[in-house]
Amino acid sequence: MNDRSAMAGSRAFTLVELLVALVIIGALMALVFVLVPAISRSAARIEGIAKLRDIGLAMNHHALDHGGFLPGPLKQGQSPVPAKSGHLVSYVKPYMFPDEALGYKNVQPGFVSKAWMKWFRSSGLEGAATYYINVAIPSPGQEGVVFFPFGNVGAKSSNNRPVSYPDLWKSNIPVSETPAMWDWMGTDGVSAPYGEFQNGINVLYFDWHVENTTNVDRIPNSVYKPKGW
């Protein structure tokens, strides 16, 4: 009698119970599939912000070591491959990754995010731009006058030379609202598409703070464009 009771207490799951368990497992799996991409985008956003913040601090250190002058002259489209002229990575390397070896296709790994590196490896391109430099800023109160904070490789004479950081303040340029650079160009075949990361545009401003410009409605491929775009 006791044996039969023990067997009844340890009976197998019924079909209904199995179906309920499968439904619960399926719901959990669906939740995971929804959350993982969102977590990946969030991680890419956080890393992009941190990367730009580090670059901003490196720019500031460069200015402190060079009489207040910003790094430059620079090109607008910035590659993560060090070069003799026009490439920011060559100027900030001593302040960010002095002993870091070059990686895939001579990319400086510490200059880019993992999301960008993943895209670049899958793109089949020999080279690509990572950041966009704001090389020409309209001077406040002086119509037709353009300010070249980092110099400009494509410009002539004095415009091909970066300015001292104090001059930014003297020129009345609103440094907390004026972007120095951002991490998306949106140029097919040259830079990673916004849809690749869906993490908006991370913008470094001239007071060295960083903002993410993802649209408040979280609409893919829709972002706020920074002032001076």
Q: Is 71 exposed, middle or buried (0-12, 13-18, 19+ CB in 10 A)?
A: buried
Q: What would you report as the CA-atom Rg of the chain, rounded to the nearest whole angstrom?
A: 25
Which two tokens mark 113?
């995010």
Q: Measured at the alpha carbon of residue 203, what is the angle toward residues 140 and 40, in degrees to the nearest 5?
A: 165
The angle formed by the CA atoms of residues 143, 144 and 145, to the nearest 5 degrees, is 95
Residue 167 has pLDDT above 90, yes or no: no
pLDDT digits (tens, 9 = 90+) for 170-204: 777 888 888 898 887 666 666 666 544 555 678 89
d(C-alpha 122, C-alpha 192), whole Å = 11
Higher pLDDT, 50 or 4: 50
Which residue in the block uniquely carries the two structure tokens 């119509």? 143
Between CA 140 and CA 65 the distance in angstroms is 28
What is the per-residue pLDDT for 174?
Answer: 82
Provide the pLDDT for residue 226.
Answer: 46
Q: Output the pLDDT for position 62.
A: 92
Point out which residues pair with 210 in neighbouring strands. Answer: 204
pLDDT of residue 133 exceeding 80: yes
What's the confidence (pLDDT) of residue 224?
46
Given a cut of 90, is residue 106 above it in pLDDT?
yes
Residue 198 and residue 208: Cα distance in Å, rounded?
24
CB-based contact 49:202 (threshold 8 Å): yes
Mean pLDDT of 67-85: 88
Give 202-218 pLDDT, tens digit per residue.
889 998 999 877 654 44
pLDDT at position 183: 82
pLDDT at 152 over 60: yes
Averaged pLDDT, 104-115? 91
225 pLDDT tier (thresholds 50, 70, 90): very low
Count the neighbouring beta carbons within 10 Å of the beta carbon of residue 75: 20
Task: Tell me the pTM.
Answer: 0.76
- Lowest mean pLDDT across 70-79, 114-123, 146-155, 213-222: 213-222
Residue 108 pLDDT > 50, yes or no?
A: yes
Q: What is the pLDDT of residue 126?
A: 87
